[in-house]
Amino acid sequence: MASLDELIEGLFASLGPAGSLLVLLVIFAVDAAVFPALPEALIVLTYSFRPAGLDAVSWAAVLLAMAVIGDLIGTSVLYAAVRRLLIQGNRMPKPLERAMRRWTQFLLLKDERIILLNRVAPVVPFVGAFIATLDWNVRKAIVFVLVGGLVKYTFLLFIVFVIGVAYDLATARWITLGLVIAVVAASILGSWLYRRRLGDRAPP
């Protein structure tokens, strides 16, 4: 475990605070736009390598800002790409559009509020694509992305802060990473159970 600690410490030392924040921003943007990139684990690791001279609350606020901005960038870029290249160009595959519309009809929430549900149980991937394809209210959707990100990552960083106060740095790092794994696993399980329940209710 110590060797892994040294490897992680060396990586963050080579990146520096600015580089770490840039990587965090990119990971959150990629996670929102392209594929799941486990940004929760990265934000926890980045928090544990707080720069000298910066207090824990200020560092957490910076990380929270990077996470939310990354979410907004990823979602907005995907929305703009799908709308411009597929929707406005009339190139959106009809079977795909029908599948997206049919899927949201099975959900308890059928509009932009799905974005908030997604923070607890991921049931809709590529949110930006859904915003463009289903013609959701863009401003409302972006607000939900912002609010959902603020609530989720504020809660996560608060838990990390509390654990960091109770334990030494190295121990706290691994406890919080274990917590992140548990949160991600619970989210995946919640998503699976939610989809299974919806499948049982689906009409024949």
pLDDT tens over the chain, length 204 residues: 445 566 667 777 788 889 989 999 999 999 898 877 678 888 888 888 888 888 989 999 999 999 999 999 999 999 999 999 999 888 899 999 999 988 888 777 788 998 998 887 778 889 999 999 999 999 999 999 999 999 999 988 888 888 877 667 667 777 777 777 777 677 667 666 766 665 555 544
136: left (phi over 0), alpha (psi -120 to 50) or beta: beta
Sequence-separated (6 or more) residues with CB below 8 Å from residue 23:
15, 42
Give the model's pLDDT for residue 138: 95
Domains: count for the chain: 1
- Give the pLDDT score at 198: 57
What range does the domain containing 141 cover? 2-201
| pLDDT score at 2 | 47
Number of helices (H), then strands (E), in the chain: 8, 0
The 10 Å CB-count burial string (b at 16+, else e) for 98-135 is eebeeebebbeeeebbbbebbbebbbbebbbbbbbbbe
The pLDDT value given to residue 7 = 66
